[in-house]
Amino acid sequence: MGNLQAEEETPGGSAVAEVASEAATAAAPVFNEAYIAWMLVASAFVLMMVAPGLALFYGGLVRKKNVLSVMMQCISLMGIMSIVWVVCGYSLAFGGDILGGYVGGFDHIMLAGILPYYDATLDTVVTPGSDGAIPTILFMVFQLMFFIITPALIVGAFAERMKFSAMVVYSILWGLLVYCPIAHWVWSDNGWLCEWNEAAAFGALDFAGGTVVHISSGISALVCALMIGKRVNYPKEPMPPHNLTYTFIGATMLWVGWFGFNAGSALAANALAVNAFVVTHIAAASGVIAWAGMEWRILKKPTILGACSGAVAGLVCITPASGSVSIPSSIIVGLAGGVASYLACTKLKNALKYDDTLDVFGVHGVAGITGAVLTGIFATKNVTGGGYGLLEGNGQQFVNQIVSIAASAGLAIIGSVVLLKLIDLTIGLRVEELSEIRGLDQSEHGEEGYIFL
């Protein structure tokens, strides 16, 4: 009533207010409902990658006495990491700089300021290169799915021998102290590795998480495997996958879900999302051919496990490059990911004699590093409209990629070593030997995956 009265008493007040309102509306980005629809679907796809995708993929690879433990870890992280993200994770990743830009601040604790307003002038994320916008809360939930899947990937390295309680504590602390800082460096507006931050000395191209997700998790997985030690009787006793049918179903669900992972990172239903979608598929296909082809040549028999592993390696390798490389380049990226991961999971693993149960380092770490390097080589202006790589004459971008790999790997190593040491000194990392022999399904959860009458 007071505003209405003021307008009546001031000559032309109503007209002035109308003009001001129209100007504000014209200046502000408006929500693009097509973008919103796509991002909702993409967010759901990424969540599907964790369960049932990753849960089945990993569940089939372990021995049958541990199948439920892996699935329990996956669904628990879906619950735990979601709450951690809402409470403080999003703020640490995307809040304003603290500690000299090392990590985000406390602007958005309990999602303060992140509200589902319909008015685009109040709370939006503007899609790069577009006048369209999505609600910030939608960006928040899309990023949440990445926060869930990244520690879930690490689970495969210590499968069949880590305490459930240790897994929970490690995942929470690792998410806050390793993942959030790296996400802040690479994806927040002021991050020192952020490609669209003009002040960044080493702006890295990481479209969908090669550095933030796969290198950080893959390197951390190697640290976990080394520090927790080998499984009882490994490698003397054969420990083959117990159900490759599960693994096949999980791998193909990961393949489909990865379209949300990569194409969703465009934050829009636009040409960039289409390019990311197509190169993601082509790289996965190339990865299948590379790994199965290596097996066929060396072992004389291509396997379903090899084909599934190759698909995942190709998907990992294209992830950082999916917003910057062309379709022909994606074939090379996928082939390179498949070959590099195959060699890491066979030659390198056997030479160093570490027990990374489900080859998280061999696939995610090695293919992630390979993809980040190749991004610095094959990135093209034809896709990005801006950033480009070594083949187009930008040697600095190649340097930037190397710096981002080193920074991510360095924090992953230091953070994981410290956290694992602290956990081992307090609650302990590993189940007792008898519990491991019995299987984690029974010893940690009191359940059995298969009951034969």
CA–CA dist 97, 102 (Å, integer): 7
DSSP string computed for 101-128? GTEE-STTGGGTT----S-TTTSEEEPT
pLDDT at 199: 85
Amino acid at residue number 315: L
- Please return the burial class of 119, using the count of CB atoms within 10 Å of its CB with bins 0-12, 13-18 and 19+: exposed
Residue 5, pLDDT > 50, answer no
Reported as half-sphere exposure (CB side, CA atoms, 13 A), residue 387 has a value of: 27
Over pLDDT 70: what percentage of the chain?
89
Q: How does the average pLDDT of the chain come out, rounded?
A: 91
Token pair for 236: 């003397």
Could you tell me if 320 and 370 are in contact, meaning their C-beta atoms sit under 8 angstroms apart? no
pLDDT at 123: 64
pLDDT at 406: 98
Report in angstroms the alpha-carbon separations of 236 from 66, 158, 160, 230, 233: 19, 18, 16, 11, 5
Could you tell me if 310 and 290 are in contact, meaning their C-beta atoms sit under 8 angstroms apart? yes
Residue 280, pLDDT > 80, answer yes
CA dihedral 279, 284, 288, 290 (to 10 degrees): 50
Of 223, 240, 235, the closest CA to residue 350 belongs to 235
* pLDDT, average across residues 206-222: 97
Over pLDDT 90: what percentage of the chain?
83
CA–CA dist 279, 96 (Å, integer): 33
CA dihedral 32, 33, 36, 42 (to 10 degrees): -120
Digit-coded pLDDT (tens) for 227-236: 999 999 999 9
Reported as type and span, the H/E element at residue 315 is: helix 304-318
CA–CA dist 182, 363 (Å, integer): 20
Q: List domains and CATH numbers for the chain.
A: 1-31 (no CATH), 33-445 (1.10.3430.10)
* pLDDT, average across residues 17-46: 73
Digit-coded pLDDT (tens) for 80-123: 999 999 999 999 999 999 998 899 999 999 998 887 655 555 56
CA–CA dist 243, 201 (Å, integer): 48
pLDDT at 292: 98
Confidence of residue 203 (pLDDT cuts 50, 70, 90): very high
* Choice among 2-6, 336-340, 416-420 with the minimum mean pLDDT: 2-6
Residue 331, pLDDT > 80, answer yes
* pLDDT, average across residues 398-422: 98
* Choice among 11-25, 203-217, 285-299 with the minimum mean pLDDT: 11-25
* Choice among 5-19, 28-42, 273-287 with the minimum mean pLDDT: 5-19
Neighbours of 184 (CB within 10 A): 28
pLDDT at 133: 82
Reported as half-sphere exposure (CB side, CA atoms, 13 A), residue 38 has a value of: 25
Amino acid at residue number 443: S
Digit-coded pLDDT (tens) for 186-195: 999 899 999 9
* Choice among 16-20, 89-93, 177-181 with the minimum mean pLDDT: 16-20
Amino acid at residue number 96: G
Amino acid at residue number 36: I
Tell the residue number behind the tokens 């296909």, with chain if given.
285
Reported as type and span, the H/E element at residue 135 is: strand 132-135
DSSP string computed for 340-405? HHHHIIIIIHHHHT---TT-HIIIIIHHHHHHHHHHHHH--HHHHSS---GGGT-HHHHHHHHHHH
Confidence of residue 13 (pLDDT cuts 50, 70, 90): very low
Of 182, 214, 151, the closest CA to residue 364 belongs to 214
